[in-house]
Structure 1
Amino acid sequence: MQLDNGEYRVYGHLERYTSAIEAMVRERQYATRKYTTVIMFKKDQIRFKKGEVIALSGESGVGFPHLHYEHRSRTNVPRNPLAHGLYVKDTRAPILQEIAVKPLRPGSTVNGCDSVYVAALKGGTKNQYAVERPIQAYGCIGFALNGYDCADAAGNKFGLYRTRLFLDDSLLFSAMYDSFNFETTRQVHLDRDLFLIRSGMGDFYNLYREEGTILPFYGDFPANAGLLGVQDLPADGLHRVRILADDVSGNSAEATIALYYIKPPVIARIDLLPHGKSAHFVAHIEPGGFPVRKTDFFISPDGNQWKKILSREVLAQHYYSCEADSTPLGFFYVKALASDSLGFESTPLVTGYASSIPRKAVSLPSPELFLSAQGDLLTVTLISGAPLPREPDISVSINDTAIQLPIPRSSRPGEYTVKFRAAFSGQKNLGVVATVLDFNGSARVFGKQFQVGGSSRESGIVVTSPDNIASAYVRKGAVFNQTFIWLQLYPDSLVRTWPELVQASLSYAFEPGVVYYDQKLSIGIKAPRKPKTGLFTSKGGEGWRFNSSEYDTKSGNYTGAIWEHIPFCLFTDEIPPAVSFRPGQGKPDTVPGQGLLISVDDRGAGINAESINAFIDSQWTLCEYDPEKKSVSVFMDSVTAGNHLLSFSVRDNLDNETVVSVPFVRP
């Protein structure tokens, strides 16, 4: 609805309209024989005065009954209604729950690890929150905030209006959520951390500006604003990180973090010096910003149950040792964990050993090689399945050009990882070779090939699965940030289906799991055309969702499109939808004045809402389909008293059809 001042208001998820609009909608629905219809009104065709009823709120949207309301400018740009005239009494400050501290470049760490660290915010008295313990960070670091706003008399949660990030009282970043262009809708995933959302960890506001974003929230702050260690490294030592969150009414909450920006200690290797039935372990340590206080050693026969061995002495500045009374027979693991004088820990290092084993018993199972990606950061992981006497030698070549790699690290038993960055230039053949030394001193070589695509906003790519059956096309400009993408087989053990679906191909998955897209990604599976068959995408543990039955005869591919990286597969569904009537179950019955309710369900390809048709005495009548309730309401507006015959038909998305006829009595 357009106001006289030129602004727009949008009201959605309604139950019904006023009589004038309702009559026009009904006329259009019967003319097109469709429940869903579009009517373009002329200027001033229908006018309302302040205080008049426009429509009645309902539950035609997803979830519980609610009103969808939008406040748009004269140029049709959605704006924050609370900041533009919609008054809600609010004397309560935002609620702050958690802080995420994220290492974003190779070599960056948070509390000694290269993974996201989420810390609970404690307090809340006088709207002041804090992380209880200091956090260590080094390298390129980003922050994110999990919080929400609330009003005096409203039980629902509001979004934050403004966030600000300070380091030692210097403003690094600010975002204000005042307006939002339709053209940048998909970029919301650059403002909220999609990886944390998909991981079930919460809805976090990024407190930095991602490269490539044109969202209108950040004012004059440039790309990478808010990130530590991108332009200039903060001085080593203790810093105060302060985060302010405001609502529209000016209520504010503050969170503080004691941050030690300092390099943690690194354990380079662990040596074993046998001494009879006992053993002497020596950890070689690269000190960080503070002196090493201690190193703890642990021993385990299987990598699951660990026994702590107390450290004995510091041999020198870079060495730490301990003595074990006895070592397990056969394979065993040793883990070392160093901590500095402030208590900040290194990433643990795990090394495998063997003792008292006949030579014929020391052969290793075949290691497995895996590749993962986050943007242009690639990680090679080797899982050995047994202890190794030293780190494997891993080499990588891209399009037959070798690249330099750091030494693989192991923080978990039998698992070795190495991370590196690579440039982008379309399709790449990436070869990984691992040389593993067993306890006999014999070297074994394992290799694996990957076809990866490097994509940026300036390039489009096609990636294919290792068997050349599945493919994906990333259009030029489709990704926000540069990233590597490839396809791999999706394990059959993870394929969960309803009995209605028969698997018609292998299933495929993307790596990496999360990529931010601005356009849909085209997918395809090469297979002979078969009736009642189409592409489906995974719903996790809840089965599969129909995507498309389109078939490209030129390429021989079933084709579809997706917004995000989810597994996909071909399925055949030959079972029509299930239909039942309430009341009556197919017998003559009295239908009350409000109409007839029909249950429809299809656990295979899903209901095709456009296919639903109902005829009363051979005359088409209006139906409303509710996918959440899995029901169809048949309207009885013009049905007279007496005996009638209802004919009802519905198809699923693969054209399996159910047709039923039911006599009924209208009193």
Structure 2
Amino acid sequence: MIKWTLLLAVALWLPASAEEGGLIWPLSLAPALTSTFGESRSRAFHAGIDLKTWGETGHPVQALADGYIWRVRTSPWGYGRALYQKLADGRMVVYAHLEDFAAPMAELVQQAQQQRGRYSVDLYFKEGEIPVLGGAVIAWSGESGAGPPHLHLELRDENNVAVNLLLHGFSIADTIAPTLQRVAITPHGRNAQVEGGHDPYVLNLRWQPSRGEFIGVRPVQVLGPVSISALMYDRADAAPNKLAPYRVELHIDGELIFAARYEQVRYGDMHQMYLDRPLAAFKGGIGRFYNLCRLPGNRLEFYEGPSDGILNLAKGRHEVVVVVADVNGNENRARFGLMVAEPPVIAGARIAAAANGTFIEARMTDADDRLVEVELASSRDGENWRRVDRRQSRSGPLKWQIHRNASYWRIQARDPAGATAFAICRLPEPAVPTFALERRPHADFVELVMRYEQVPSATPLVRIDTVNISPRQTGLREFRVAVPLDPSDPTGGSVLLRTPGAAVQRVVLDQQFVKPGAAAKLTYANGAVELGFAAASAYAPFFPQVETFEPQVSAALVAVGSAFALGPDVSFDRKVELRLRYDRETLPPEKLGIYREVAAEKWSLVSNEWDAVGRQMVARVRRLGRYALLADLEAPEISSLQPAEGSFVGSRPEIRGAVRDQGAGIGRETDIEFELDGSLLIAEYDPEAGRVYGHLLEDLSPGMHRLVLRVRDMSGNQAEMYSEFTVR
């Protein structure tokens, strides 16, 4: 009743900004942000702004404007305790991660929790039931749900579309321009290359004070369709937190090609974050880069400009400028070059002995240059090189006589644009050359990577159907080749790898095809894996590839067979049904689940839905990746039960316990029970802290009491801990 009186008292005071139709800053703290609209989260965009509470909870939260409480929700996950307020103009405000609600919401939530016997409730109200004036205290800031202490604030328009609050009445002191850290250049398709490869190439940027901009230290070699993405962040004056920028533009040779403004996003499109923010690895880390292109199937409403941002540039040098700005207009830019040229190719390199000596030979071609600089170098250790010869050469055969004082010999070609190719051979040895093979699936091809234990005496040969291909060398012992996939040849996909002195190795690639608008049900690994695609699943055509491997798991989990690497790394509009077969009788199905590898030896449960008829575990996934059928046989751990065994306490003690599960995890409220003297309490679970709190609504009588905490994980393994304590 005290809080309800406070609500009425504060509601009588109406700040000038509310009278003028603006939005009121909800905290008494000076405005500072920890996150802004449109930032990347693990599976979606950040739909609001996060107000900094400097590690504290319990700050009064005021209503942004006049309206009424439309919804009140409590949950251990996500937004935690949250209020949804309908404003008088039809817009919606969400206040999340709250510590407590003001009256009458607090009492209504408590009543609903007691009636339903659980902490999570979701209550809806009609206009007029709980009216609120702008400036009224409606809650207190907290850290419920996900994240540390802060206030998540979200504004939705009359169509329930999340909009950028910083464009709708809020302003933050900000005189700091955004920072551009890196750009990634990504090739699209088998015939596209960046720096001679098929993976995204990350270019580090550095600040150039004399020019007042970030620059790339050298031009990047590209061929075919490519796109640009940027790793960047903003900061504001009041706090050091990294924030999302508001606007970004891509200019090529002085012309605007593509732009994005992060102003609004529909909730049904939140998962398309994967299309806008691809992950790219770089030396020392990995990050989500902002795409400066619109990929197929992308419905997001961020984008502007005359094109989709996929670049297919003419031969020669091109200047790229990326401009980034925040809401306050602070702006920065990065400038770098793209050099479009066909790189030279060195094929068939080998060292061969003849009656008149030892020779190294190869064939060099360059599709768009008449003359190419060619260099021969030798090395004793494969690291320190000594130039033996340098010449200008036309496309055709190359041959040098070499001595045997150096074990390693390198042929390198460089065209006038700076694009290079090389081949390294070692003098023949009696040992049989062996290599490890990695498959890197892409949409319409698979790149095979061969890593040798020692440098071979000749470039390996790859035979695809009836065509021989010489792979490109990418390291002292590494070779790569792109194998095309063809939907018109479902029986193809057989590749032969030949290394001089070693047995031929056969690789079979899957030619099953998925395309937008067509449902498909595909099986792999002799029926162990099944993928079910809806017609609306795929954004673009691709060939799924499945490769088995042995999973490395923690002590809390048991692998029940091989794991499966599903590629390429694509996401889906409609989730894909993944089925893994389990036809043994060793373990009960309720202990099993489909897990996804989220880090080295770290697995996260995706689903434990069991299809008894097909004897398959079933999951619905948004992305391909590394999945395994694992079993959790270990019960959760319970500790620090309070009041402790044998303790003497007051009449209203804190009821809590610490819980941990390193296997399937704790994912249902019904699996947590706090029992006091035979009666169940409302149990509030904090998954991030690993704690459970029991709601005690009245004083306990003097004497002895018995407290029991029971916890089950998602595989049904149960732990129990009890204590007996005395109330004085």
Fold equivalence (TM over 0.5): yes
Written as runs of structure 1 = structure 2, the 5 A alignment for 1:190-589 is: 190-196=275-281, 200-219=285-304, 221-222=306-307, 225-229=308-312, 233-234=313-314, 236-270=315-349, 272=351, 279-282=358-361, 284-287=363-366, 288-289=368-369, 291-299=371-379, 305-314=382-391, 316-318=393-395, 324-327=402-405, 334-341=409-416, 344-351=418-425, 353-354=427-428, 361=430, 371-382=439-450, 390-396=458-464, 402=465, 406-413=469-476, 415-424=478-487, 428-434=490-496, 436=498, 438-439=500-501, 444-492=503-551, 495-498=552-555, 500-512=556-568, 514-527=569-582, 528=584, 530-531=587-588, 532-535=590-593, 536-589=595-648
Identity %: 25
Q: Aligned in 2, Cα 1:61/1:350: closer, same or farther, shift over 3 Å?
A: farther
> Do the aligned residues in 1 keep the contact of 2:494 with 2:506 (CA within 8 Å)?
yes
Q: Aligned in 2, Cα 1:326/1:524: closer, same or farther, shift over 3 Å?
A: same
Q: Which of residues 61, 65, 69 is equivalent to 2:145?
A: 61
Q: Aligned in 2, Cα 1:628/1:188: closer, same or farther, shift over 3 Å?
A: same
> Do the aligned residues in 2 keep the contact of 1:450 with 1:466 (CA within 8 Å)?
no
Q: Aligned in 2, Cα 1:408/1:132: closer, same or farther, shift over 3 Å?
A: closer
The CA distance in 2 between the partners of 1:198 and 1:51, in whole Å, is 49
The CA distance in 2 between the partners of 1:103 and 1:82, in whole Å, is 35
Q: Aligned in 2, Cα 1:462/1:108: closer, same or farther, shift over 3 Å?
A: same
The CA distance in 1 between the partners of 2:521 and 2:379, in whole Å, is 47
Aligned residue in 2 for 1:156: 241
Deviation of the 1:196 alpha carbon: 4.3
The CA distance in 1 between the partners of 2:310 and 2:601, in whole Å, is 38
Q: Which of residues 263, 273, 280 is equivalent to 1:188?
A: 273
The CA distance in 1 between the partners of 2:459 and 2:282, in whole Å, is 35
> Do the aligned residues in 1 keep the contact of 2:441 with 2:545 (CA within 8 Å)?
no
The CA distance in 2 between the partners of 1:617 and 1:80, in whole Å, is 50
Given residue 591 of structure 2, which amino acid in structure 1 is its aligned partner? T
The CA distance in 2 between the partners of 1:315 and 1:256, in whole Å, is 33
The CA distance in 1 between the partners of 2:597 and 2:399, in whole Å, is 51
The CA distance in 2 between the partners of 1:199 and 1:454, in whole Å, is 36
Deviation of the 1:408 alpha carbon: 3.0
The CA distance in 1 between the partners of 2:298 and 2:257, in whole Å, is 17
Q: Aligned in 2, Cα 1:296/1:14: closer, same or farther, shift over 3 Å?
A: farther
| Cα shift readout 1:514-534 (whole Å, capped 9, x = no counterpart) | 112223332222224643421
Given residue 149 of structure 1, which amino acid in structure 2 is its aligned partner? D
Q: Which of residues 634, 655, 662 is equivalent to 1:596?
A: 655
Q: Aligned in 2, Cα 1:636/1:271: closer, same or farther, shift over 3 Å?
A: closer
| Cα shift readout 1:525-563 (whole Å, capped 9, x = no counterpart) | 222464342113323235322333322122111222333
Aligned residue in 2 for 1:636: 696
**Bigger mean CA offset, 145-154 vs 588-597:** 588-597
Deviation of the 1:140 alpha carbon: 1.7
> Do the aligned residues in 2 keep the contact of 1:596 with 1:635 (CA within 8 Å)?
yes
The CA distance in 2 between the partners of 1:261 and 1:569, in whole Å, is 42
Given residue 518 of structure 1, which amino acid in structure 2 is its aligned partner? D
> Do the aligned residues in 1 keep the contact of 2:223 with 2:341 (CA within 8 Å)?
yes
Written as runs of structure 1 = structure 2, the 5 A alignment for 1:123-142 is: 123=207, 125=209, 127-142=212-227
**Bigger mean CA offset, 67-76 vs 270-279:** 270-279
Aligned residue in 2 for 1:32: 116
Given residue 408 of structure 1, which amino acid in structure 2 is its aligned partner? P
Q: What is the RMSD of the two structures over their aligned residues, measured on CA atoms?
A: 3.1
Aligned residue in 2 for 1:399: none
Q: Aligned in 2, Cα 1:599/1:252: closer, same or farther, shift over 3 Å?
A: same
> Do the aligned residues in 2 keep the contact of 1:314 with 1:321 (CA within 8 Å)?
no
The CA distance in 2 between the partners of 1:449 and 1:523, in whole Å, is 22
Q: Aligned in 2, Cα 1:594/1:239: closer, same or farther, shift over 3 Å?
A: farther
The CA distance in 1 between the partners of 2:510 and 2:197, in whole Å, is 29
> Do the aligned residues in 1 keep the contact of 2:370 with 2:394 (CA within 8 Å)?
no
2:118 partner SS: coil
The CA distance in 2 between the partners of 1:496 and 1:574, in whole Å, is 13
1:67 partner SS: strand
Deviation of the 1:261 alpha carbon: 2.6
The CA distance in 1 between the partners of 2:139 and 2:722, in whole Å, is 35
Deviation of the 1:353 alpha carbon: 4.8
> Do the aligned residues in 2 keep the contact of 1:517 with 1:563 (CA within 8 Å)?
yes
Deviation of the 1:278 alpha carbon: 7.3
Deviation of the 1:226 alpha carbon: 1.9
> Do the aligned residues in 1 keep the contact of 2:676 with 2:707 (CA within 8 Å)?
yes
1:62 partner SS: coil
Deviation of the 1:625 alpha carbon: 0.6
Deviation of the 1:74 alpha carbon: 0.7
1:87 partner SS: coil
> Do the aligned residues in 2 keep the contact of 1:548 with 1:560 (CA within 8 Å)?
yes
Q: Aligned in 2, Cα 1:617/1:198: closer, same or farther, shift over 3 Å?
A: farther
Given residue 375 of structure 1, which amino acid in structure 2 is its aligned partner? A
Deviation of the 1:178 alpha carbon: 0.8
2:545 partner SS: strand
1:471 partner SS: strand
Given residue 165 of structure 1, which amino acid in structure 2 is its aligned partner? L
Can you give the 5+ residue segments of structure 1 that lack an aligned partner in the other structure?
397-401
Aligned residue in 2 for 1:90: 174
Q: Aligned in 2, Cα 1:209/1:63: closer, same or farther, shift over 3 Å?
A: same
Written as runs of structure 1 = structure 2, the 5 A alignment for 1:3-82 is: 3-82=87-166
> Do the aligned residues in 2 keep the contact of 1:496 with 1:544 (CA within 8 Å)?
yes
Deviation of the 1:508 alpha carbon: 2.1
2:342 partner SS: coil
Deviation of the 1:17 alpha carbon: 0.7
Written as runs of structure 1 = structure 2, the 5 A alignment for 1:616-631 is: 616-631=676-691
1:189 partner SS: helix
2:512 partner SS: strand
The CA distance in 1 between the partners of 2:132 and 2:328, in whole Å, is 30
2:334 partner SS: strand
Deviation of the 1:651 alpha carbon: 1.2
> Do the aligned residues in 2 keep the contact of 1:598 with 1:631 (CA within 8 Å)?
yes
TM-score (structure 2 length as normaliser): 0.80
The CA distance in 1 between the partners of 2:346 and 2:154, in whole Å, is 56
The CA distance in 2 between the partners of 1:324 and 1:160, in whole Å, is 57
> Do the aligned residues in 1 keep the contact of 2:278 with 2:291 (CA within 8 Å)?
yes
1:142 partner SS: strand
> Do the aligned residues in 2 keep the contact of 1:380 with 1:419 (CA within 8 Å)?
yes
Deviation of the 1:433 alpha carbon: 3.6
The CA distance in 1 between the partners of 2:639 and 2:409, in whole Å, is 64
The CA distance in 1 between the partners of 2:470 and 2:373, in whole Å, is 25
Q: Aligned in 2, Cα 1:132/1:414: closer, same or farther, shift over 3 Å?
A: closer
2:349 partner SS: strand
Can you give the 5+ residue segments of structure 2 that lack an aligned partner in the other structure?
1-84
